[in-house]
Amino acid sequence: MNKRSNLLAIAGMCLICAFSSDALYAQKKSKKKTPASGASATPPPAAKKEGIKPFSEIITAKARKKDGLFKTYKVDDRWFFDIPDSLLNREMLIVSRLNKVPSGVSVGNQQYGGEELNEQVWQWERRGKQVFVRVPSYSVRADSTSDMYQSVKNSNLSTIIASFDIKAYNKDTSGVVIDVTDFYNSDIMAIGATDELRKAYKTTALDPTRSYIDTVKTFPLNIEVVTSKTYKTMESPIDNSIGAVTYEFNTSMLLLPKKPAKPRLNDVRVGYFGQTQTDYGTDAQKAEKTAYIHRWGLVPKDTAAYLRGELVEPVKPIVIYIDPATPKKWVPYLIAGINDWQVAFQEAGFKNAIIGKEAPTAKEDPEFSVDDSRYSVVRYFASNIANAYGPHVSDPRSGQILETHIGWYHNVMNLLRNWVFVQTAAVDPSVRKAKFTDEQMGNLIRFVSSHEIGHTLGLPHNFGSSYAYPVDSLRSKTFTNTHGTAPSIMDYARFNYIAQPGDGVTQLHPTIGEYDKWAIKWGYTWFPGNLSPAKEREKLDVWTVAKAGNPLYYYGRQGTSLDPRLQNEDLGDNAMKASAYGIANLKRILPNVEKWTYEKGKDYSDLKEIYGEVITQFNRYMGHVTTNIGGMSENFKTYDQKGAVYTYLPKTKQKEAVAFLNAQLFNTPLWLINNAQLNKFDNGVLLNNIKAVQSGTLGSILSPSRIARLLDNETKNGATAAYTLPELFKDLHTSIIPSSRPDAFKRNLQRSFVDRLGTLMTQEMQAPPGVAPSRIADFGLTPVNVSLSDIRPLVRAELKSLLTIAKARAVAGDAMTKAHYDDLAIRINDILNPKK
């Protein structure tokens, strides 16, 4: 579950987009940010140059006026802003969202009303008879008292994205009046269709004759503008014969505090989303990177009571409303998921710090809108996408979170049903059915709601948390009743697949845990005395060092395949032991899928879906185990902490992983083939899926980056301590190249083995799309020059050995066996002796 906007490290959608080494070769999360310049496909039409006129000539008696951040006027079909001098050059956060979308739009996170498109900061600047809109950048900075301030200012000029002629001075000459009609109606990407939407439907231009401003609402701190824009397209999500697509956008302009909130410096040992900038105002003898965390601005109402250790309410609590479009029966569970975090904020000294509420009705508050940037909302999407995500909008100057619009897709319920079924049906008879009760589904919704709210508080995924609990502890009813399945609800520790029948375990998913409480304490504790961020960091560092080494408080980042602790969908401190328990439960579940999904009069689509989920879950276990091969532990530290940051896993653990894969995967898992059920839905596809799991896992084992770490480990620690590549080949042989007659699965696996070795002989490692080669190691993809390394000599030796085996076996056995080994020998020979 991941943040849509201005986050540092989330890829894809929250519930389903965790990184893996395979995914990183081919996948990059798309960021829907427009260029800082606000570049537009078609610039606004230039206004005719006219002199500044009297106010009454521009704002006539028939004008409709509204007071707010700016006074706004509507005269006929023209809209005017009355900008007071006091707000010129003030920074204002712009957030553009889809308000309404035509059916059929299918661009990720840009296809439902309420989804965010862009964030930008604007400054309205007056020069002579004109007003300009500038977009400042915050990528570099220096304090105004620093000697570097002027130099940074000279190298950080704000781009102008729009200009306006001043039409009139306001009545008391304390401000100016401009016409913003053409600006909001124009094709400026910052307040219209993103580049992704344009490319998806081959947009050629905005059609101004089919575009208009619908409403302009002004409030004390913000202005909300709703526009309807029609774009000419070569393709359409609805009907290509139309040649166009219409979207409705909401653009929020929110006044930022004149003085930014005090930031809190980031620490990689505690997980927070944040922002990084180059700070030239420090004493460091280099251009130093400064990182601030994202957090809400909580300040105690009663500071004296707070300092006495009493729980105190914040001056402004975090209030999150539930979209009125949400089905009523799920509202209490979404609210409960929000309020679950109150216990964590108590660790930071606050009570009632976060509150979930139903949105007010039109009668209760006619001005309330789910698109209003003053309000945080859980938006409910009528969507068949099985997902949810928890973004937030923050002040780019300080990291202060200002609001959130959580995305909740209706079909997340199907995802939850599938997960719970394949992970817990062996131990929980209540989920052995096609449809859960409202209470069962409601509690699952509450669980996901709590997770997504964690993101809106600034917390990223903590993929290292679930490793804190010993595998056998997750089979204990007493332990799980107290601790859940992981110390953090921000891990992707789904449901307890480890517990076995008879264990009596009933708490099967995580709750707000020890790490969550610690992270909120670290990020939200208020310090008196107006300490500088650096001084606060000194106090926080004492806390962090005190927690170091305790796995309950360990933060493991998302986005690397290096450390086997940092995996999604896993549980416990030993992947081989945990996965063995998980497979034992899958073997109990699979024969009963047809019976447990039975619904009178329905076809076998549920049987097919759950059967596929069983194979998917099995594949997850294989991935969890594979990461142990060539794996390293990653424990970030500072100079004042002893011990290594990176340590290779012991040889015994890596050999244990290979032995597990040999036994559970490369020796064909025939238990996955249940013909009595397969003949109800399978038309020849499913067995290929099992082969794909075998081939995919083998390819991951023999990836260049994993092999590079095996070689690196041997160089650093010697062949006795390290698990070497020749040892890996030898261990794989026991299952992949047995002396017995190979079946269809084994023949497929042997060809995959040879093909993978052939790839290592002919191709170099490539950086994933969009990832700089210099950064691939950050993702656990250890870079290596394959042709100059020891990889090819060792692979060549392995191929020669396989060629000898293949030739010997091609002369005996049945026709299929001889043909297979003859073909294998030809493949190997072609690799070793490529045709010129």
How does pLDDT run across 366-378, given as a tens digit for each residue? 888 888 888 999 9
Give domain status of residue 636, yes or no: no
Mean pLDDT is lowest, of 41-50, 633-642, 725-734, for: 41-50
SS3 42: strand
φ, ψ (nearest 5 deg) of residue 597: -105, 10
Mean pLDDT is lowest, of 177-181, 289-293, 638-642, 819-823, for: 289-293
In this structure, the answer to whether residues 270 and 250 fall within a common structural domain is no
Beta strands in 256-404 (DSSP E): 274-279, 288-293, 295-296, 318-322, 354-358, 376-381, 388-389, 393-394, 400-403
pLDDT in tens, 340-369: 999 999 999 999 999 999 999 989 998 888
504 in the Ramachandran plot: left (φ > 0), alpha (ψ -120 to 50) or beta? left
| Amino acid present at 695 | S
CB contact burial 474-512 (16+ within 10 A = b; e otherwise)? bbbeebbeebbbbbbbbbbbbbbbbbeeebebebbbbbb
All residues at 6 or more sequence positions from 740 whose CB lies less than 8 Å from its CB, including other chains:
none
Res. 31: pLDDT tops 90: no
pLDDT, average across residues 643-647 = 94
Q: Where are the alpha helices (DSSP H) in 627-703?
A: 651-661, 675-678, 686-701
pLDDT, average across residues 139-151 = 56
In this structure, the answer to whether residues 378 and 414 fall within a common structural domain is yes
- The number of helices, as runs of H, and strands, as runs of E, in the chain is 24, 28
- Mean pLDDT score across all residues of the chain: 89
In this structure, the answer to whether residues 297 and 374 fall within a common structural domain is yes
Residue appearing with tokens 């956060």: 93
684 in the Ramachandran plot: left (φ > 0), alpha (ψ -120 to 50) or beta? left
Give domain status of residue 189, yes or no: yes
Sort strands 187-188 and 175-179 into parallel, antiparallel or unpaired: unpaired
Output the pLDDT for position 288: 57
In this structure, the answer to whether residues 464 and 504 fall within a common structural domain is yes
Output the pLDDT for position 147: 52
pLDDT in tens, 712-735: 999 999 999 999 999 999 999 999
Give domain status of residue 79, yes or no: yes
∠ CA 196-200-202, rounded to 5°: 110
Output the pLDDT for position 17: 40
Q: What DSSP designation does 809 have?
A: H
Res. 150: pLDDT tops 80: no
127 in the Ramachandran plot: left (φ > 0), alpha (ψ -120 to 50) or beta? beta
In this structure, the answer to whether residues 249 and 308 fall within a common structural domain is no
Decide if 770 contacts 31 (C-beta within 8 A). no
Of residues 257, 602, 600, the one with CA closest to residue 397: 257
Stronger pLDDT, 478 or 775, i.e. the higher one? 478
Model-level pTM?
0.88
Mean pLDDT is lowest, of 240-244, 637-641, 697-701, 728-732, for: 240-244
Output the pLDDT for position 371: 81
Residue appearing with tokens 């508080």: 457
Of residues 691, 577, 554, the one with CA closest to residue 625: 577
CA distance 73 to 609: 56
Q: What DSSP designation does 314 have?
A: B
Stronger pLDDT, 827 or 107, i.e. the higher one? 827
> What is each CA distance from 640 to 129, 548, 549, in whole angstroms?
59, 12, 14
Structural domains in the chain (count): 2
All residues at 6 or more sequence positions from 827 whose CB lies less than 8 Å from its CB, including other chains:
751, 754, 755, 758
Give domain status of residue 303, yes or no: yes
pLDDT, average across residues 477-492 = 95
572 in the Ramachandran plot: left (φ > 0), alpha (ψ -120 to 50) or beta? left
Q: Read off the tokens for 554.
A: 């360990």
In this structure, the answer to whether residues 152 and 291 fall within a common structural domain is no
Q: How confident is the model at residue 39 (pLDDT cuts 50, 70, 90)?
A: very low
∠ CA 815-821-823, rounded to 5°: 95
Give domain status of residue 369, yes or no: yes
pLDDT, average across residues 8-35 = 38
The domain boundary residue, chosen from 256, 275, 298:
256
Report, in this order, helix, strand and coil percent for the chain, each rounded to 5: 40, 20, 45
All residues at 6 or more sequence positions from 230 whose CB lies less than 8 Å from its CB, including other chains:
206, 207, 210, 211, 244, 245, 246
CA dihedral of 527, 557, 296, 317, whole degrees rounded to 10: -100
Q: Read off the tokens for 328.
A: 């009523």
Q: What DSSP designation does 265 have?
A: B
180 in the Ramachandran plot: left (φ > 0), alpha (ψ -120 to 50) or beta? alpha
Number of Cβ atoms within 10 Å of the Cβ of 141:
20
Q: For the sheet containing 393-394, what is the strand order?
A: 295-296, 400-403, 393-394
All residues at 6 or more sequence positions from 812 whose CB lies less than 8 Å from its CB, including other chains:
818
Q: At what angle do helices 575-589 and 651-661 cross, to 10 degrees?
A: 20
Decide if 311 contacts 349 (C-beta within 8 A). yes
In this structure, the answer to whether residues 128 and 113 fall within a common structural domain is yes
Q: Read off the tokens for 580.
A: 């063995």
Mean pLDDT is lowest, of 142-156, 194-208, 573-587, for: 142-156
Res. 2: pLDDT tops 50: no
Give domain status of residue 142, yes or no: yes
**Dmax over Cα atoms in the chain, in whole Å?**
102
CA distance 392 to 7: 9
Domain holding 526, by residue range, is 1-31+262-573
Q: What DSSP designation does 551 have?
A: G
CA distance 42 to 32: 19
φ, ψ (nearest 5 deg) of residue 42: -130, 115
Stronger pLDDT, 106 or 232, i.e. the higher one? 232
The domain boundary residue, chosen from 527, 544, 573:
573
Give domain status of residue 809, yes or no: no
pLDDT in tens, 386-440: 888 888 999 988 999 999 999 998 999 999 999 999 999 999 999 999 999 999 9
Decide if 683 contacts 602 (C-beta within 8 A). no
The domain boundary residue, chosen from 542, 573, 604:
573
CA distance 455 to 273: 8
Output the pLDDT for position 21: 36
Res. 43: pLDDT tops 90: no
CA distance 290 to 406: 28
Output the pLDDT for position 240: 83
pLDDT in tens, 737-795: 998 999 999 999 999 999 999 999 999 888 777 777 777 888 888 999 999 999 999 99
In this structure, the answer to whether residues 362 and 377 fall within a common structural domain is yes
Decide if 410 contacts 383 (C-beta within 8 A). yes
pLDDT in tens, 152-167: 555 557 889 999 999 9
Of residues 238, 241, 231, the one with CA closest to residue 198: 231
- Determine what percent of the chain is predicted with pLDDT higher than 90: 76
CA distance 429 to 436: 12
What is the 3 state secondary structure string of 739-757?
CCCCCHHHHHHHHHHHHHH
| Amino acid present at 377 | V
In this structure, the answer to whether residues 25 and 71 fall within a common structural domain is no
φ, ψ (nearest 5 deg) of residue 386: -95, 85
Residues in the chain: 836
CA distance 697 to 711: 20
In this structure, the answer to whether residues 26 and 43 fall within a common structural domain is no
pLDDT, average across residues 223-252 = 90
- Determine what percent of the chain is predicted with pLDDT higher than 70: 90
Q: Where are the alpha helices (DSSP H) in 94-169?
A: 149-154
pLDDT, average across residues 39-50 = 47
Q: Where are the alpha helices (DSSP H) in 425-493?
A: 438-456, 477-483
Give domain status of residue 224, yes or no: yes
> What is each CA distance from 724 to 648, 708, 763, in whole angstroms?
12, 10, 22
SS3 5: coil
CA distance 2 to 17: 8
Output the pLDDT for position 378: 95
pLDDT in tens, 72-112: 999 999 999 999 999 999 999 999 999 998 888 888 888 88
Number of Cβ atoms within 10 Å of the Cβ of 640:
7
Res. 148: pLDDT tops 70: no
Res. 27: pLDDT tops 70: no
In this structure, the answer to whether residues 23 and 45 fall within a common structural domain is no
CB contact burial 756-766 (16+ within 10 A = b; e otherwise)? bbbbbbeeebe
CA distance 823 to 781: 33
> What is each CA distance from 816 to 622, 669, 752, in whole angstroms?
29, 22, 17
In this structure, the answer to whether residues 566 and 424 fall within a common structural domain is yes
Of residues 390, 331, 380, the one with CA closest to residue 357: 331
